[in-house]
Amino acid sequence: MYPKYDFAGQVALITGAASGMGRVTAKAFALAGAAVILVDRDELALQKVAAEIVDAGGKAVTVAGDVADEGVAKTAVTRAVSTFGRLDMAYNNAGVLGPMCPMMEETGEGYDAVNAVNLRGVWTFMKHELIQMKKQGSGAIVNCSSLGGLVGLPGRAAYHATKHGVIGLTKSAALDVAADGIRVNAICPGCIDTPMGDGIEPEAMKNFLKEQPIGRAGRPEEIASAVLWLCSAAASFVLGVALPVDGGFTAH
């Protein structure tokens, strides 16, 4: 289902690569010829994804760790450069949903845990990706926000706050490096059929999908297609955007 992109000789870094949208997008980059750096805290699942890519003829290395740890981000970028010589693209995808409850019932610990992955994790990786890309004078980054970065929904204050923050980070960083040959954008997925969605109660999911005019959950491959396009030369004049990939949810 992917358009034909030629990323041969290029290197892509993907966080949250062990499952869901990250896993599918990493495979899509590899299928298009890119070498991939896979990052996730689930080391066993990460190794499985890497093996699948290598068995299919691709190139993949893994870095296991917490995306909120700046040392992990620095290690991942360093690994990309030491192994493949450069870093051309990044999809900062790692995210967690966190507990769903009224804001008054959220805890500071819960808020900090969601923020650490969803917002600090994007900031940490983007910082080190941009340091390398600025040296090269080229690069493209896609950060994963959410339709929750564009609207508010009850019971998800911490999650939505972090996803709004990702859009702010994206726009500011895009302006920081626009003149350096680097493009930074964000995608805002709607309800996608991934393991993260398994944490949502069936009735809540049913009601949510009623608000997604296309009438179904999205597929991870549809997110991967948007990420690859934003990283490709086809999107060379696109930067600082928060692109909804949501089946029409935010159109009404």
The residues assigned a catalytic role are 159
Q: Give me the residue label for tokens 């290395």.
A: 61
Instruction: Specify the residue for token string 């564009």.
Output: 150
Residues 153, 156, 161: CA angle, nearest 5 degrees: 95
CB 59 within 8 A of CB 36: yes
Q: How far is CA 128 from CA 90, 191, 192, 195, in A?
A: 11, 30, 28, 28
Place of tokens 């769903």: 100
3 state DSSP class of 209: helix
CA–centroid distance for 161 within its chain: 17
- Which residues, at least 6 apart from 91, have a Cβ–Cβ distance to it below 8 Å? 12, 13, 14, 15, 22, 25, 26, 29, 141, 142, 144, 227, 231
Contact 67, 100 (CB under 8 A): no
Q: Which residues pair with 13 in a beta bridge?
A: 37, 90
